[in-house]
Chain A
Amino acid sequence: MTDQTANGPMLAADGTPLKQSLNRALRRQKLRAFLLIAPLLIFVLVTFIAPIGDMLFRSVQNDIVADTLPRTVAALSKWNAESGAPPEEPVYRALASDLLIAVAEKTHTQLGTRLNYEDSGFSSLLRGTGRDVDDMGEDVTKALVAIDPIWDEPTTWTNLLGEPAWVSAQADWDKAGGKTAEPPFVLSPVAQQNLPLTSAAFADFARVMQTVKNDSPTEKRPWNTVAIGLTEDLKANPAAAGAFGTEWQPALSAIVAAAQMGTIPAANFTAAFTESDKAWATPQPWSIIKIFSPRFTSGYFLNAVDLKMTADGIAPRADSERVYIMLFLRTMILSLAITGTCILLGYPVAWLLANLPPRTANLLMILVLLPFWTSLLVRTSAWKVLLQQQGVINDLLVWAGLVADENRLVLINNQTGTIIAMTHILLPFMILPLYSVMKTIPPSYLRAAKSLGATDWTAFWRVYFPQSIPGIGAGSILVFILAIGYYITPELVGGAKGVFISNRIAYHIGTSLNWGLAAALGSLLLIVVLVLYWVYDRIVGIDNVKLG
């Protein structure tokens, strides 16, 4: 019932284009098909793709420096790391401000852990300085208190800098004993306008007091940075002393006078940091902070290939720290070896399976599948019992006189152990695809080859083997990809020399908690597998892989 209009598209009986008609007719079907796969799709997306994506994203994510040390990062942007000199005083001061908050929030230890990956010793440096930072600039506060004891009172600061409405609300809250929600600190506009440094420092202090310590800013004398800010504000703008009304004028004017006289010592954070740790006098920690201040970093990936970022660019790590390239190579080579042994051992078994009478083949198939019925851990532990130097295999060899008692073979806690145990565990993954491919090769091919004059070997090698290659391909891909990411068996029987890259990834996820590096190593492993898959596709052809 279609109609071809002069030169338009094919039309359905009702005049709508045929294509549109067909789409409409199929839409319901397509929707139904989609709904059928939707539960799995959602399940996989939510529980697999999204978490893995998030995990892999950590390999480049680096928010912690910028989030913990925002002022320092901003101040450091002007500093040139290649100058060879440490940065100027404002940078030290910015770090002091950041650290005060970080110490209160206890984020400086996390930052220390993060930067320790890049420069060992950073963690203890930040912890040490974090303990000292509270006392830096103490002499300024002391000088203020000496001028007027009211500066020792916490309420002096809140009354001066807080919005009157907040001051009374906070007083009510204090009286009530802290049972209700604390009114968040609000800066008075006057203070904000006239004492900008003081206000900024105090606002941070009040926020930390209220949100982190869950305490009232009226209970504790503020940080030294607030006193320093007040001194500098008043020195820069003496007129500010008069902006707060008559009751504040004497106290503030006294500070103005003292600042002009020079009786208040200038804050020296450079000296204070150097006193806390000599490392701060060198450019090294600063350049680390600067290099890793961007929110995205290639540091984890460089680390994963035994490189590091320095002020001079990318450089190889010290010999003692190079492990990952070696581990990647070992993982590849051992996986290839395991794949090879699986082919050698699995091929004859698969051939038997495909050619024995059904009853015997079923029994053999059960034996092949038997390992799947026991836990992986149990099988691997069994290998420990078999392979150790006082184990069953060595005992047998010694008993048979093949090995001298004092020269028992080292079969475990090395690469031999990993290869033996993993070959055993992965063998079914080679046998099953091989078997299903061999099952489809009719016996008449071998007969035909023999009837044409080929010997048994020629018939096998020229006729049977080429047709079983898709099975070898499928089995090899399965075994290799499973082997490359294997964890539990190398962990248990591999010792130090037989572990895989995945053991290192697990270590970084579970023990060192360096998730960024773990994610980078994982991403690299994924990339390596994809590249190998691509190479395989180019050489063998993925359509040449059959699972049955």
Chain B
Amino acid sequence: MADGAMTNDAFVVFDRVQKSYDGVTLVVKDLNLSLPKGEFLTMLGPSGSGKTTCLMMLAGFETATHGEIRLNGRNINTVSPHKRGIGMVFQNYALFPHMTVAENLAFPLEVRKLDKSTRDQKVKRALDMVQMGAFAGRRPSQLSGGQQQRVALARALVFEPELVLMDEPLGALDKQLREHMQFEITRLAHELGITTVYVTHDQTEALTMSDRVAVFNDGRIQQLAPPSELYEAPVNSFVAQFIGENNRLMGTVTEMKDGICVVRLDSGDFIDAKPVNVSKVGDRTQVSIRPERVETNKARLSPGAHTLKAEVLEFIYMGDIFRTRLKVAGHDDFVIKTRNAPDQVRHQPGQTIEIGWLPEDCRALDAP
């Protein structure tokens, strides 16, 4: 669950924040979150999960219905957006179309009443930082999507805010450009030591860029953890399902001992799993196994481990990996991924094989 610990060096704090638009339903339910200075935090979740609302509350465009948002120790609930000094990159960049790139960047400096030479110097530095120095005189409409993205980033950074918010900034870019910009943004954020709150619904983006990821669903943070932990140790079935590819099997706990539980699947087969969200024998559970952690070579499994019979339905050659779809315990959407190595077996459809896994790779989570 959310990291509720309020450390003293927390830079951004959401303290029991709730938000409702219509007075009937809560869009954000009891949000507690604290960010240390310099952290890159991503809010990840499906649309309607409340992540953008959180960002807007932080930026000041929405007011919290209940609770407190603190920035640098100060309650900013009633501070108007222009006084918060938070840089923001918008989904559609929101570059002012009637101003040139340089004018766009000078805008935040102008309203801060900096003199012209300082302005020019800062604009130039910010543009050079995103390698857009040559485009200062252009209008946003004369730039490509990636260039606009860089300008938007430079504009959010030019007045040297300590906190930068990004609302799905890479959504409109193609895959290659997106990957490049992911790298650029994290590099800049770390070089400048800015605290960043990044909103996205793209899990790859979240995993590759962030120090920590907050997975949102249904107005709550489901898990707040570094990417590796999020992927390898999801705390509930939503996170397991939302992050990465995942195989689900439904069953009931029949035995629990030494941190391992035995689950009887609905098909009658028995498997070993690591209990995460189950507490006692008889609990319904959804077990979750990552496709790449499924073992087809029996020799690598511990002796006495439970195995399952699987029928190969489909073999897909994907270059670096093989993706094999199996029918396991009545589910025909069970996928395994194997590395394309010289000694790797290429399973043929129709073949029956035996699969198993290490108990700690198979997590017994809550049954949704």
Contacts and interface: CB of A to CB of B under 8 A. Distances in A.
Interface of A: 442, 444-445, 447-456, 458-459, 462-463, 466-467
A463 B84 CA distance: 19
A442 B108 CA distance: 19
Given A447-B90, A450-B61, A454-B108, 20 more contacts: A442-B92, A444-B94, A447-B94, A448-B90, A448-B94, A450-B81, A451-B60, A451-B84, A451-B86, A451-B87, A451-B156, A451-B165, A452-B82, A452-B156, A453-B83, A453-B85, A453-B159, A455-B111, A459-B82, A467-B98
B88 interface: yes
Contacts of A467: 96-98
Given A467-B97, A467-B98, A449 B91 contact: no
Interface string B90-119: 111010111000000001100110000000
B155 interface: yes
**A442, A450, A454: most-surrounded residue (chain B CB, <10 A):** A450
Task: Give the interface residue-count category, chain B.
Answer: 20 to 34
Given A442-B92, A458-B111, A451 B98 contact: no
B326 interface: no
B97 A454 contact: no
A451 B107 CA distance: 11
A454 B82 contact: yes
A447 B90 CA distance: 9
9 contacts: A444-B90, A444-B91, A449-B107, A450-B61, A450-B81, A451-B86, A451-B165, A452-B108, A452-B155
Given A445-B96, A458-B111, A453 B82 contact: yes
A448 B92 CA distance: 11
Nearest to B95: A448
Contacts of B207: none
Given A447-B81, A448-B88, A454 B94 contact: no
B23 to A, nearest CB: 15
Contacts of A449: 96, 107
B98 A466 contact: yes
Interface string B281-295: 000000000000000
Given A466-B98, A467-B98, A455 B92 contact: no
B146 to A, nearest CB: 19
8 smallest CB-CB distances across A and B, nearest first, come from A452-B108, A448-B94, A451-B88, A444-B94, A450-B81, A466-B98, A454-B111, A453-B111
Contact of B82 (A445, A450, A462): A450
A116 to B, nearest CB: 58
Contacts of A466: 98
Contact of A447 (B61, B83, B84): B61
Contacts of A462: 107
Nearest to A467: B98
A463 B97 CA distance: 9
B81 A451 contact: yes
A466 B80 CA distance: 23
Given A447-B90, A452-B155, A458-B111, A463 B82 contact: no
Contacts of B81: 447, 450-451
Given A447-B81, A453-B159, A463 B111 contact: no
A454 B94 CA distance: 14
Nearest to A454: B111
B92 A454 contact: no
B59 interface: yes
Interface of A is mostly: helix
Contacts of B97: 467
A452 B98 contact: no
Nearest to B167: A444
Interface string B228-242: 000000000000000
Nearest to B96: A463
B81 to A, nearest CB: 4
Contact of B107 (A454, A455, A456): A454
Contacts of B96: 445, 448-449, 463, 467
A463 B80 CA distance: 18
A456 B83 CA distance: 11
Given A444-B90, A463-B96, A467-B98, A451 B111 contact: no
Contacts of B82: 450-456, 459
A463 B90 CA distance: 15
Nearest to B81: A450
Nearest to B165: A451
Interface string B49-60: 000000000011
B60 to A, nearest CB: 8
A449 B82 CA distance: 8
Contacts of B156: 451-452
Contacts of B90: 444, 447-448
Nearest to A448: B94
Contacts of A442: 92, 94
Nearest to B84: A451
B107 A444 contact: no
Contacts of A459: 82
A452 B159 contact: yes
Nearest to A462: B107
Contacts of B88: 447-448, 451
A287 B39 CA distance: 97
B241 to A, nearest CB: 32
Contacts of A447: 59, 61, 81, 88, 90, 94
A450 B94 CA distance: 12
Nearest to A464: B96
A454 B107 CA distance: 8
Contacts of B86: 451
B343 to A, nearest CB: 53
B30 to A, nearest CB: 26
A453 B83 CA distance: 6
Given A447-B59, A447-B81, A448-B88, A453 B108 contact: yes
Interface in B127-184: 155-156, 159, 165
A338 to B, nearest CB: 28
**A449, A451, A458: most-surrounded residue (chain B CB, <10 A):** A451
A91 B7 CA distance: 116
B92 A444 contact: yes
A363 to B, nearest CB: 19
B245 to A, nearest CB: 34
A448 B140 CA distance: 15
B92 to A, nearest CB: 6
A451 B80 CA distance: 9
A447 B91 CA distance: 12
A216 B111 CA distance: 97
B238 to A, nearest CB: 30
B111 A452 contact: yes
A340 B107 CA distance: 30
Contacts of A455: 82, 111
A159 to B, nearest CB: 93
A467 B97 CA distance: 8
